[in-house]
Amino acid sequence: MNTIKKEKENIAIMRYRVKKTDHEKALKVFREYLDYEHAHPEIYHYNKTRYYYRDAPDNPDEEIWMFIDWFDDYDDYVHSLKTSTINNPVAKDIQTRTVSLFVPNSLTEREHWIEAEELRVDF
């Protein structure tokens, strides 16, 4: 996506829940969404993303999903996400199908983290 690299990495984390019975549907629609985003770097301004999931400890019927996006500029990143569906019916459709898999009221606030580059360890 964006190729400009700054010294300190920025990440955003969001969490939400998906019913375990919707796990395969979630994999399919999330993949579709990510493929669309990757094909349109002019719309979505981030460098990479990773998705993770685990069993919800308080509900055996749910999974907690999390994604982490890496980007160069937080404001630009957020703006790209907020405006991605304006006059874009394809993006709107995929986003709607994605959000429909979330357990109601389980989406967390976006967390913005800035790397403490001095503490980086790469193997």
Q: Residues 110, 78: contact at Cβ < 8 Å?
A: yes
Distance CA 76, CA 88 (A): 18
- Per-domain residue ranges of the chain: 10-115
Which CATH class name applies to 10-115? alpha beta
54: which 2 tokens?
């685990």
Q: Which residue has the tokens 């395969």?
A: 24
Q: Report the half-sphere exposure of 73 (CA within 13 A, side-chain side).
A: 9
pLDDT value for 3: 47
The Cα angle at residue 109 between residues 104 and 113, in degrees rounded to 5:
145
- DSSP code, position 102: B
Gyration radius of the chain's alpha carbons = 15
Residue ranges in the chain modelled with pLDDT below 50: 2-5
Percent of the chain with pLDDT over 90: 89
Q: Which residue has the tokens 């460098």?
A: 47
Q: What share of the chain is helix, strand, coil (3-state, %, to 5)?
A: 35, 25, 35
3-state secondary structure of 108: coil
Q: Which residue has the tokens 């404001």?
A: 75
Is pTM beyond 0.75? Reply is yes
pLDDT value for 9: 87
pLDDT value for 7: 61
